[in-house]
Structure 1
Amino acid sequence: MKCGTSPVVANIGGYAIGLALSFFVSKKLVFRSNGRFVEEGLRYLVAFFACFAVNLATLYIAINEFHLNANLAQLLATVTYTALMYAVTRWFVFRSASPLLKHER
């Protein structure tokens, strides 16, 4: 937004830049998954777009319905995305790497 873009454009740009990097970091460092790259990559894209849709909805509602400051709305949308994405990545994307799920098998 410091570059003069709208909150929505800034939000989309930031998430687009971080998508590939976050997949590799999550796969290798956070969840230490040895699962199939393509399968997990496709699930990650599904998870990303679902969580990002919630992020944009949160941003829209925070600005247009609750009339929050754009920076505060961005923060709220980011926190919402981060918490949801972690949960979905743990239980859906890298499910074979989840220690809790391994005990259930």
Structure 2
Amino acid sequence: MVVEVIAGSATRRHRFHAFTAALVRRLPFGLSRLVPPSLLGFAIINGFTFGVDLALLTVFRGGLGWPLPLAVTSAYLLAFGLSFLLNRAVNFRSHGPVGPQVAVYLVAIAINYGAFILGVGTGLAELGLEYHVARVAAAVCEAVYMYAVMRWVVFREKPRR
């Protein structure tokens, strides 16, 4: 399975969760009571996949000369696919059926894409902001939205009876 190849064994997934939980326990100023380990895990995973997004954007736009909308879209879809797999496997450790999760995730990233990537990112680039800086500004907005969607919609825990 692709998730096993990317995320590794159950032991590695458990270690990732234990690592983020240990880091959260060490947060100062009472933040450990406010920050869930999944938020830190999301930040780590999505920081990595955002780097993948920017690297692909640079290759597609700067290296291959693709039009900006095509370069942004391609890099975005590849990075968000990786983000889904890693967050599902190691951060939220979801055991729910993957089909419905993918369907909800696709709706979420379509909304995210329209509002933040095209709306904020491309809009700022069209206003003259360098496209990498515009993409970073869009990423800040999308991070808040995507964490909320992944935690409370895509990978939500079903109430136990």
Q: Which has the higher contact order (CA 8 A, sep 6+)?
A: 1
Unmatched segments (≥5 aa) in structure 2:
1-60
TM normalised by structure 1 equals 0.77
Structure 1 stretch displaced more, 14-23 or 51-60: 14-23
> 2 CA distance for matches of 1:7 and 1:20?
20
| 1:39 alignment partner in structure 2 | 100
Q: Post-superposition shift, 1:58?
A: 0.6
Does residue 1:16 correspond to 2:67, yes or no?
no
SS of alignment partner, residue 66 of structure 2: coil
> 2 CA distance for matches of 1:73 and 1:7?
12
TM normalised by structure 2 equals 0.53
> 1 CA distance for matches of 2:70 and 2:138?
14
Q: Indicate the structure (1 or 2) with the bigger Cα radius of gyration.
A: 2
| 1:57 alignment partner in structure 2 | 119
8 Å CA contact 1:58–1:76 kept in 2: the answer is yes
Hey, which bits of structure 1, 4+ residues long, moved more than 6 A? none
| 2:57 alignment partner in structure 1 | none
> 2 CA distance for matches of 1:72 and 1:22?
21
| 2:62 alignment partner in structure 1 | 2
Unmatched segments (≥5 aa) in structure 1:
none
Structure 1 stretch displaced more, 8-17 or 74-83: 74-83
Deviations 1:69-96 (A, max 9, x none): 2221122122322332122111111111
CA RMSD of aligned residues (A): 2.3
**Matched pairs, number:** 99
SS of alignment partner, residue 95 of structure 1: coil
State the identity %. Answer: 30
8 Å CA contact 1:26–1:32 kept in 2: the answer is yes
| 2:135 alignment partner in structure 1 | 74
8 Å CA contact 1:7–1:74 kept in 2: the answer is no
Q: Post-superposition shift, 1:48?
A: 1.2
> 1 CA distance for matches of 2:67 and 2:143?
21
